[in-house]
Structure 1
Amino acid sequence: MDTRFLGRSGIEVSALGMGCWAIGGPFWAGEQPLGWGEVDDDESIRAVHRALDLGVSFFDTANVYGAGHSEKILARALAGRRDEVVLATKFGGTFDERTRQVGPDDGSPENLRRSVRDSLRRLGTNRIDLLQLHINGLPIPQALDLIPALEDLVEQGLIRAYGWSTDFPERADAFAAAGRRCATIQADLSVLRGSFAVLPVAAKHDLGVIIRGPLAMGLLGGRYTSTSAALPHDDVRGLSPEWMTYFTDGRPTPEFLARIDGIRDVLTSDGRTLAQGALAWLWAYDERAVPIPGCRTVAQVEENAGALAHGPLTPAQLADVERLMGRA
């Protein structure tokens, strides 16, 4: 239960990873916030250290998180412990490190090579264990044009394997079929909703499945109710972009709160917290799943890592959740 393999790469990771979007701090696309508000870098580093101590060995970031700041914080946190972890980052976004403003996506081989060099510098390492394409809807022909460069980066020893963060099964299928060292797909999935159609693709090609959004952008952490105060405008959930369906105008979307209420008793059975139950559902639903809940405090790390001791839901509990969600 405690470990998974990242598909056909053979790279072994903890069954639970740590998502590092939030520790990047604020960054923007114009006036639209893309981060999770201000962060305490020292607390972020303590959170990474606590995750390591609790057996978490997989850390997932992206070059664009905090306009490079997340990678820099990981470098500080992992100093002297780099060989204890599997480090994943992403490319495709462009940004200005000084202003923390993002630019247009760039899925070109030239940007790929440049991004790898820059990420290695910020991460303070000589290799990236898993490099992921971070443009969800990049047209398939452009994605396939990246494969020779990705394979070359593997041959050079700069990356060990690669994958695509995409919710489109046809894109994942084409990429995995063409890329010999393609090892993973990263998809948005929680017990509430998500990209279920990518899971058969992962099984077909023996890909690892990295789950982003496993706690529904925090809704499954149990903190938010219909009376919660609106989140601040420097939080991506506070000034919600179109894809942020879990929150509307900075508050939880009522539809999802109702879904949580319907399955709360099952998820919190056997002494689990709501968040731990949501992670347990993922492990029960797909044995390849490696959820990467975002954390920026020690307390969040400790709660999420506590799910490992409980393990997956039982088959009966999984069936109950699926029935209550109308998916049975």
Structure 2
Amino acid sequence: MTGTARTLGNSGIEVGPIGVGCWAIGGPLHAGGEQFGWGTVDDAQSTAALHRAFDLGATFFDTADNYGAGHSESVLGRAFEGRRDQVVIATKWGNTFDEATGEATGQDATPAHLRTAVDASLRRLGTDYVDLYQFHIAQAPLPVALDLVDTLEDLVAAGKIRAYAWSTDDAANAEGFAAKAPHCAAVQHDFSVLNPAPEMVAVVESLGLASIARGPLAMGLLSGKYHDGRRVAADDVRAQGHPWIPYFGPDGSGSREWLTRIDAVRDVLTSDGRTLAQGALAWLLARTPAVIPIPGCRTVAQVEGNLAVRSPLPPDEFAQVESLLRG
């Protein structure tokens, strides 16, 4: 992986140019019959993947308290026990759950819950600070998010968090929040070659924020594995028909509309020996210097492929992709 570090906004926190998303390693999370995890997991395999990512230069690891009802945080914390100061850990709060039963129970955007949630995350992560703490309720009204700023600033002053962010796809809300939040360093948002997010890119670049690219591989569709009709497992979040997951149908198969778009740029993205996923990540690195993609992983092979990306997509190839997809 390229050694060019990127900075989390104005926080001064440096990270490798490609991070690691830790949703999939959390395992199951359910709300009645609905699934919000990626199926069963093997913790030993997850830990091996995290260690391999670190060995290959990844230093930024992104999770959330509700991924696997706390399980992702616990696995991540154990994986880097004894070398916490060598990694940058981002987690999120706002979605509530029962840690014992693995059930999602709702949302809580109050300052009181924020204080409780950060302490619970610190316990599971086995650390006394979080590098980047992210509000996880994407659709919250801006005034609700702004009501959290004083508490977040208190947590910065107390040393429990170093910086904070909002995980949202609403560019106007992100801009309004960051403008009044002194230690806001980033926005996490959906961002991939299939979703270039022009409004959000404009916000992060104008305010000097980091763009944490959630879904940089379109939840796996840009891996190239789903063109042959294969489906994700029935207990996978991608097979639930959630309206916020456009890339897979309720039967777990890849959306034909999006697969067709991928086919339109496959040859460009896979030129110079890149895999499709590597081309998609290289496109993001070329899109803006503010971006830090966080492709998810569950296996050593996945992190080895993702972290083999060594440079942004060349300008001429980037232009070809834009012409083919966006005319």
Tell me whether the two structures share a fold, i.e. TM-score over 0.5: yes
The answer for unaligned runs of 5 or more in structure 2 is none
Task: Say whether the 8 Å CA contact 1:75–1:123 is kept in structure 2.
Answer: yes
Distance 2:178 2:133 in 1: 14
How many angstroms does 1:287 deviate by?
1.1
Q: How many residue pairs align between the two structures?
A: 324
Determine the structure 2 residue equivalent to 1:245: 246
Distance 2:220 2:151 in 1: 36
Determine the structure 1 residue equivalent to 2:127: 125
Letter in 1 for 2:33: E
How many angstroms does 1:194 deviate by?
5.1
Determine the structure 2 residue equivalent to 1:47: 49
**1:211 corresponds to 2:210:** no
Identity %: 55
Q: Give deviations 1:129-187, integer Å, cap 9, x for gaps.
A: 00000000111111000000000000000000000001001110111000010000001
Determine the structure 1 residue equivalent to 2:78: 76
Give the TM-score normalised by structure 2: 0.97
Distance 2:133 2:287 in 1: 25
Task: Say whether the 8 Å CA contact 2:229–2:254 is kept in structure 1.
Answer: no
- Secondary structure at 1:37's aligned position in 2? coil
Letter in 2 for 1:321: V
How many angstroms does 1:195 deviate by?
3.1
Distance 1:238 1:198 in 2: 28
- Secondary structure at 1:7's aligned position in 2? coil
Task: Say whether the 8 Å CA contact 2:31–2:104 is kept in structure 1.
Answer: yes
- Secondary structure at 1:104's aligned position in 2? strand
- Secondary structure at 1:129's aligned position in 2? strand
Distance 1:129 1:212 in 2: 18
How many angstroms does 1:196 deviate by?
2.8
**1:323 corresponds to 2:323:** yes
- Using the TM superposition, name which of 240-249 and 138-147 deviates more: 240-249
Q: Give deviations 1:15-74, integer Å, cap 9, x for gaps.
A: 000000000001112211111111100000000000000000000000000000000000
Determine the structure 1 residue equivalent to 2:106: 104
1:26 to 25, 28, 32: 28
1:146 to 145, 148, 158: 148
Letter in 2 for 1:58: F
What are the residue-to-residue correspondences of 1:1-328 with 2, within 5 Å?
2-193=4-195, 195-228=197-230, 230-248=231-249, 249-307=251-309, 309=310, 311-327=311-327
The answer for unaligned runs of 5 or more in structure 1 is none
Letter in 2 for 1:324: L
Distance 1:240 1:29 in 2: 14
Q: Structure 1 residues 195, 28: closer, same or farther in 2, change over 3 A?
A: farther
How many angstroms does 1:226 deviate by?
4.5
